[in-house]
Amino acid sequence: MTLTKTEYKYIELNEDNVPTIAGTTMKVVELVETQIAYSWSPAELHLNHRYLTMSQILSALAYYWDHKPELDAEIKRREDYVKLAEIEAGESHFAARLRAQGLLK
């Protein structure tokens, strides 16, 4: 795997130019999605991702804010992909049975 250093000490670009947290496989956008989903502070992110140092977390968040338009576009692309996959998958057999029994609206 080829990594490219950035001006952010704890952020590297992988071979696909995706920003990742140095020494891990976690993408910056994944940490940001977690923060958005749970409204976690940097301290709460650290509590729930103990393998990351606070410096790594703060560097990832700084990278996000400095590259917000590009990373927000990636977050939207991921959300759209999930929505499309859910539509294509359709309703599960379990959900259909619950709906037929009147247990699910």
| Tens of pLDDT, residues 7-47 | 899 999 999 999 999 999 999 999 999 999 999 999 999 99
Amino acid symbol at 53: T
Q: Read off the pTM.
A: 0.80
Tokens of 43: 């301290």
CA distance 21 to 12: 6
Average pLDDT, the chain: 94
Q: With 80 as the cut, is the pLDDT of residue 91 above it?
A: yes
77 — pLDDT class (breaks 50, 70, 90) = very high
